[in-house]
Amino acid sequence: MQRYALTVDKFLDHAAKWFSESEVVEASAGSASARSSYSQLRERSNCLSGALLDLGLQPGERVGTLAWNTLDHFTVYYAAMGVGLVCHTLNPRLVAEQLAAMIAEADDRVLAVSGSLLPLWDAVAAKCPSVEHVIVLDDGANRAGSTPRMWSIDQLLDQSDREAAWGQFDEDQPAGLCYTSGTTGQPKGVLYTHRSNYLHTLRLLQADAMAITSRDVVLAAVPMFHANGWGLPFAAPAVGATLVLPGRHLDGESLARLMREQSVTIAIGIQTVWLTVADHLERTGSSLPDLERVIIGGSSCPESLIRRMERILGARVQTSWGMTELSPLGTIMPAYEESQDNGSGRPPVGLDLKLTDAAGNELPQQRGQMGHLRVKGASVVDRYFMADEDPLDEDGYFDTGDLATIDEQGSLTICGRSKDLIKSGGEWINPAEIEAIVGRDPTVSLVAVISTPDDKWGERPLLVVQPRAGKDIDAQDLIGSLRGKIADWWIPERIARIASMPLAGSGKIDKNRLREDFAEGKILTDEIERQ
């Protein structure tokens, strides 16, 4: 008897059969520019599968994508994964040297590139000898006679009449490859299997998690090149929900227009995206009458910002926490519970958490105290690409590198990265606690605390802030907000105001970049007068 293998192609098969007229919508500059039913997408994706095989690709080989959230990118996802190829999503916000290194390490033979990103490909092509074919997506024109061979996706599809059999491989076959954002260290390649993606999708769809249904219109503002697009390219077809892909335009005005036009009910992405939407709505006095929920993640969010988003967006905000290594959902606050200051909710079934000391010993009391967070589950990474190290401990837990607490209701709060801790005079300072307090100030848009060298203490914290549009930051007021809430010796002596906080492709603040900029003298600081 043939076993039912947990392969991700079954999500699109299911949508094409049972929700054939439900759609995936692509937008440009805030308005729908193309749309396709799940049945049409299934046919197009399968045809592209045959074309990829005709190019000589074998199961297990990588197909790179350098693309935005579009119908063509969605098509490549299923075309590659359906026949056992590995979809290697690349972040176009990385510099050329980083992209070239990832393409070379993955040994990508085929690269699918959005037409608007061809100049970026041109910058890395000479360093990517493994790439034999480039497929140009999103109405981009191919360049005849180029090397490697360049095709438009429609040209490739027109030449293929081969029907491909999907899912003819083991569920433990790799399906995707995504590199970590590298905000605190070197990026690592995370391999996702079909089984891990399938089980992650079921976990994500639970009623106490994202709870997406066939009646929903889901806006995926999280990039498809970041951690499986948070699993939305699988979850939406799994339940027949309408999926809205915003392309490259993620400014507040474009997203607000798109959400009204398409009657979006659930919007998903990092908090900085929704803050720009809230700013636009507040400035114009407009609203989003169909929006019910906004799901945020990527970094902790002060309660004051949550309440502001809920008031202006007119929707419930669900906070979540995850990592590329978790596929990525870790914990999420249910829609019926009010999100708390920096709280990230409980893990859905399929994932377990535990807190340990620095040596990895489980804390005897798991509630109400801070520890090093470890996680275990079927969708947790069990190997990094091209690495010999085993990322799991002897009990199968993955060390997240986060410091966290779990309250009496089981809700997780991330308290910072262990690598971000600042050792000053032999004692530890936790930047996340300072950031949480300063982040509540209405004049502050983004905040980060980084370590800087100090002759006397070894390290001292530097407060880096990005003002909200049109607001002036008073350094003394910010420092005053810290007094009495943290130890006096934790309080920074210097502040830096910057126009734009550097962000990694995941949307998280890039502290590595901040430290580099400070070391190179690119960040100017002001001394804070002690009172």
3-state SS, residue 183: coil
Collect all residues with Cβ–Cβ distance below 8 Å to 95 and sequence separation of at least 6: none
From CA 174, how far away is CA 271, in angstroms rounded?
Answer: 31
Which residue, chain included where needed, has tokens 């990322």? 391
* Residue 134 to residue 67: CA distance in whole angstroms: 12
Pure H helices in 210-297: 232-239, 252-262, 271-284
Q: Quickly tell me which residue has 């390490």 as its tokens.
A: 105
Token look-up 């036009």 returns 261
Beta bridge partners of 399: 374
User: Does the annotation mark 428 as catalytic?
Assistant: yes
Q: Out of 65, 70, 180, 183, which one is annotated catalytic?
A: 180
Instruction: Evaluate whether 422 touches 459 at the Cβ level (below 8 Å).
Output: yes
Structure token pair of residue 77: 């996802």
Task: Confirm whether 423 is a catalytic residue.
Answer: yes
Catalytic option among 17, 18, 428, 471:
428
Q: Which amino acid is at 95?
A: V
| Active-site pick, 17, 419, 423, 471 | 423
What is the rounded CA–CA span in Å between residue 80 and residue 222?
A: 21
Q: Which stretches within 161-293 are classed as H helix?
A: 194-204, 232-239, 252-262, 271-284
Q: Which two tokens stand for residue 372?
A: 């090093």
Query: Choosing from 325, 331, 452, 490, which is the catalytic residue?
Result: 325
Q: 3-state DSSP helix/strand/coil percent for the chain, to nearest 5?
A: 30, 30, 40
Termini Cα distance of the chain: 77
- Alpha-carbon distances, residue 170 vs 173, 237, 320, 382 (angstroms): 6, 22, 31, 17
**180 noted as active-site residue:** yes
**CA pair distance 244, 229, nearest whole angstrom:** 12
User: Which residues are CB-contacts of 2 (< 8 A; sequence separation ≥ 6)?
Assistant: none
C-alpha span between 399 and 392 (Å, rounded): 7
Long-range interactions of 350-358: CB distance < 8 A, separation 24+: 350/199, 350/200, 350/202, 350/203, 350/377, 350/378, 350/379, 351/203, 351/326, 351/375, 351/376, 351/377, 351/379, 351/380, 352/376, 352/377, 353/406, 353/412, 354/397, 355/404, 355/405, 355/406, 358/418
508 is catalytic: no
**Helix ranges restricted to H, 250-386:** 252-262, 271-284, 303-313
Q: What one-letter code names the amino acid at 259?
A: M
- Amino acid identity, residue 237? P
Name the amino acid, one letter, at 357.
D
Q: ∠ CA 247-253-257 to the nearest 5 degrees?
A: 75
Residues marked as catalytic:
180, 325, 423, 428
